[in-house]
Amino acid sequence: MGSVHAGSAKSSGTMKSSHDQKQVEVMLLMDKIYDINLSTSAYNVEAEIILSWNDPKLVDIVKREYGETTITKDKLKDFFNKNWHPEFVVSNELSPRTTDFQTLKVYDDGTLEIFEKFITKIAIDADIHEYPFGTLDLVLDISAFTHEAHEMHLEPIYFELGHGYKNEEVIKGPWTLSKKYFEVKDDHRLSTHEAIFSHNKFHFVLKHDFIDSLQKIILPIGAVILFSSFINFFASLKFGPNADWRIGGQLTLILTIFALKFSIADQIPVTHYLNFIDELFLIAIIVVGLNLLSGVFINNMYQQKPDGAAATVEVTIRILQPIITFALLGWAIYSTFYAWEGAAAGH
């Protein structure tokens, strides 16, 4: 784990004091954050953790029984079966974590360290109203397992993403780290409503890369709306040959919208409200749908009465459509970046 070792653990002076409570220092390093899927509200993480506590008598037992200062595999299992040791679960994981390897190391000053490298899948609170803008707060919730809060306290003293190597890519995908922090609290677990366990919640707040959002979402949606508007404005149905490709073009564009939404479905958070990207897709469907239906309607009017009101209706739609488009875009921007923030501040 690079720079994370016993020396880090011994430097902490923030631990609580209790006669019977074991004080366990926690050091967490995130090796990899990947497969961030907002549609399923889950992501995968590969991490390294050290649990460190002081028990000189237990150090003597390890040296005497195993003849080593570092034990693994069968010797480690035997130690776990016979002796007190800190155990944890990832409270917000979606499936049990997979442990790559574990070691126990003891030091002459009475310190013991359990090192574990693990992989797990974790749930996301994908509440990003401004998506593809805004931030995503990912949380790794470490909870004591067999020992309640009065028996064991988890105290985080180290939290880092990556080993500090040059060009090391910890976060996979179009995300960058905005900030990181941790919380310490005692709380219930879902398995019990009575017992209280020590929790360490490690937060890493990510923001979506603007260039990726621009290329994959904003520009394609904008292009569809622009092409639809140009077809609607310049291809007058007064000339019969325009009807087939104008109506067909609008139909192709509306199918393109659905195909685009399907292609980026795993990048769109599923929420109980419309986020910004949902509103953009909705606007595109309304604009292209209006152009398609009005084109069919006006073409029918021209066929029935070439010298009737069809030309007036076409000019009216040609003027109204850009106004409706800009009004909808204004509503989306206001509801996302102003009205929502004001409502959130009020609460």
pLDDT in tens, 278-307: 899 999 999 999 999 999 999 999 888 877
Q: In the chain, list all ranges with CATH 1.20.58.390.
A: 211-346
* Distance in angstroms (rounded) separating the CA atoms of residues 321 and 291: 8
For 29-76, write each residue's pLDDT tens digit: 999 999 988 888 899 999 999 999 999 999 999 999 999 999 999 999
Q: Is the pLDDT of residue 189 over 70?
A: no
For 205-214, write each residue's pLDDT tens digit: 998 887 877 8
Q: How confident is the model at residue 168 (pLDDT cuts 50, 70, 90)?
A: confident
Q: Is the pLDDT of residue 158 over 90?
A: yes
Q: What is the pTM of this model?
A: 0.74
Average pLDDT of the chain to the nearest whole number:
86
Q: Is the pLDDT of residue 14 over 90?
A: no
Q: Is the pLDDT of residue 221 over 90?
A: yes
For 232-274, write each residue's pLDDT tens digit: 998 888 888 888 888 999 999 999 999 998 888 877 777 777 8
**Region for 232 from its dihedrals, namely left if φ exceeds 0, alpha if ψ lies in -120 to 50, beta otherwise:** alpha
Name the CATH topology of 211-346.
Answer: Methane Monooxygenase Hydroxylase; Chain G, domain 1 (1.20.58)
Question: 151: buried, middle or exposed (CB in 10 Å: 19+, 13-18, 0-12)?
Answer: middle
* Distance in angstroms (rounded) separating the CA atoms of residues 106 and 87: 17
Indicate the DSSP class of residue 150.
T
Name the CATH topology of 6-208.
Answer: Acetylcholine Binding Protein; Chain: A, (2.70.170)
**Picking from 223-227, 243-247, 258-262, 341-345, which range would have the lowest pLDDT averaged per residue?**
341-345
The pLDDT value given to residue 340: 58
Q: In the chain, list all ranges with CATH 2.70.170.10.
A: 6-208
Give the three-class secondary structure for 323.
Answer: helix
The pLDDT value given to residue 341: 53
The pLDDT value given to residue 3: 40
Average pLDDT over residues 13-35: 76
